[in-house]
Structure 1
Amino acid sequence: MTPTLIPTATVLSPFALVTDFYSKKIMGWSYSDKMPAEIVIHALKMAKRNAIHHEKEINHHSDRGIQYCCSAFSEYTEKNGFILSTTQQYDPYENAVAERVNGILKDEFGLKESIKNKETAFKMIAQAVRIYNEKRLHWSLQFKTPEEAHCSYNETKYLSYKRKTA
């Protein structure tokens, strides 16, 4: 997960995503002018509600943002059995899946442009997440949507970010 900022006519508001590493499905998201720790917790709660696979251990990988270091976030994740992992450096490649999904939403769905107001931004984000999960085909998922890949999770785990050796 990594929060990003969505520009509106008056302010930059934080937006957080929780993405499943294997299927690239956006499991939870939050957009608000609340404190960043609150929006990442809200996104995690949504992801937990949306989970169809109930693994005993859930790894949560993030960058080193302050919202992931605060007590509210660590208490929530500890209480709910998340195993925390953070990037070692401030290198975007260490959080490649999150950075890629953020880039797709911003570039392909217009979320990097200044949006009229927060209500419109919220609707645009909800629509972008739905289309991304249910309609956007991914080469790395063998041309499946994230939703299709997520539903077939037990059949195949995609590890598209590792180089294949000959």
Structure 2
Amino acid sequence: MSNSLSVEGSLQALGIAIKNRCYKKKPLIHHSDRGLQYCSNDYQELLDQNGIKTSMTEKYDPYENAVAERINGILKQEFNIAKYEVNLKINKQINNESIKIYNQERPHLSNHMLTPNQIHKQCKIEMKTYKSKKLNNGVIVQL
């Protein structure tokens, strides 16, 4: 979390995420909108250096990757993170606590009622995936 949308803040956050990544050998896809900070050469280079594939929306449409965008809706709706207009330090604390609960305490139906941390630490149960369905007009949607 940063007080601006600068590339530097995004690079710092990505660096922290890479450093804290537990399963470095497993493939990783980084989904984002087409914000300038995510499209920057420096940001894309850091992703590439760490073998992280990129996925971006076509026209800034969050519905293009509903699974990846789901956490944003949960944080905004269940945890009300956007409700509080306080200083950056307190906003960071609210976000960190919300994400900790989301990852460590909140079971997810798509994870067989395990938390994200539990599903990532085990090797037996696979995370549910959603089948693609082709509609009459040729559009493919995730179910």
**TM-score range normalised by the length of the shorter chain:** 0.7 to 0.9
Identity of aligned residues (%): 39
TM-score of the aligned structures, taking structure 1 as reference length: 0.69
Q: Which has the higher strand share?
A: 1
The amino acid that maps onto 2:128 is L
Alignment partner, residue 155 of structure 1? 124
TM-score of the aligned structures, taking structure 2 as reference length: 0.78
Alignment partner, residue 52 of structure 1? 22
Q: Would you say the 8 A contact 2:29–2:52 is kept in 1?
A: yes
From 116, 141, 144, the equivalent of 2:86 is 116
Count of residue correspondences: 133
From 77, 83, 86, the equivalent of 2:47 is 77
Q: Which has the higher helix share?
A: 2
The amino acid that maps onto 1:66 is L
| SS of alignment partner, residue 35 of structure 1 | coil
Say yes or no: does 1:66 pair with 2:36.
yes
| SS of alignment partner, residue 106 of structure 2 | coil
Note closer, same or farther for the CA distance 1:38–1:96 as it changes in structure 2 (3 Å cut): farther
Runs of 4+ in 1 over 4 A off after TM superposition: none
Instruction: Please list every run of 5 or more consecutive structure 2 residues that lacks an aligned counterpart in the other structure.
Output: 134-143
Instruction: Please list every run of 5 or more consecutive structure 1 residues that lacks an aligned counterpart in the other structure.
Output: 1-30
- Tell which structure's C-alpha radius of gyration is larger: 2
RMSD between superposed Cα atoms in Å? 2.2
1 or 2 for the larger relative contact order (CA 8 Å, sep ≥6)? 1
